[in-house]
Amino acid sequence: MARVISCAGLVLVVLLAALGGVRGGQHAETELRRLLLADYDSDSLPERGLNLSLSVTILGIDMDEQKHTLFVDVWMKMKWYDRRLMWNNESYPGIEYLSFSKGHLWRPDLSLYNNADMGVSDPFTSTKMLLWPHGKVLWVPTARLPATCVMDLTYWPHDVHNCIVKVGSWVHSQKVMDLKKYSESTLETMIPKKIIHGDEEKDDEKEQSKQQSDVNALSRGTWILTDKRTSFTGKIYSCCPETYVSMKLALTVKRNAPAYSWMVKVPAVVLSLMTSLIFMMPPGSTEKLVVGCLLVLLQLQFLAYVDDVVVLSPSHTPLIVQYVSEQVLLTGLFVLLSAVLLRVVSDPHADTFPRVFRKPVALLERVLFLSAYRFKAEQTCSKWQKSSRAKGHNGATDENAAIVVDHHDQDETFPHVVSAEWLLLGALLDRIFLILYLLIFIIKLLCYCGVF
Q: Which residues, 6 or more positions from 282, have their beta carbon under 8 angstroms from its beta carbon?
A: 288
DSSP assignment letter at 7:
H
pLDDT value at residue 314: 64
Q: How many CA atoms are closer than 13 Å to the CA of 332, on its beta-carbon side?
A: 11
Q: Which residues, 6 or more positions from 113, have their beta carbon under 8 angstroms from its beta carbon?
A: 166, 167, 168, 246
Q: What are phi and psi of 198, to 5 degrees?
A: 65, -125
- Residues 50-71 as b/e (b if ≥16 CB within 10 A, e otherwise) read bebbbbbbbbbbbbebeebbbb
Q: What are phi and psi of 395, to 5 degrees?
A: -85, -10
Could you give the 3-state DSSP secondary structure of residue 415?
A: coil
Q: What are phi and psi of 419, to 5 degrees?
A: -70, 140
pLDDT value at residue 220: 56
pLDDT value at residue 362: 65
Domains assigned to the chain = 45-192+210-257 (2.70.170.10), 260-447 (no CATH)
Measured CA to CA, the distance from residue 188 to residue 329 in angstroms comes to: 49
pLDDT value at residue 372: 61
pLDDT value at residue 348: 63
Specify the DSSP element, H or E, that contains 203: strand 200-203
Threshold 0.75, pTM exceeds: no
pLDDT value at residue 144: 93
Between the CA atoms of 150, 153, 156 and 161, what dihedral angle is there, to the nearest 10 degrees?
A: -40
10-residue stretch averages of pLDDT, the chain, 452 residues long: 52 45 63 91 91 93 90 94 92 90 90 86 86 95 93 88 94 92 76 41 48 48 87 89 93 87 88 90 84 93 88 78 92 90 72 65 66 59 57 47 42 44 77 91 89 74
Which residue in 300, 305, 307 sits closest to 331, CA to CA? 300
Rg, C-alpha atoms of the chain:
41
Q: How many CA atoms are closer than 13 Å to the CA of 386, on its beta-carbon side?
A: 5
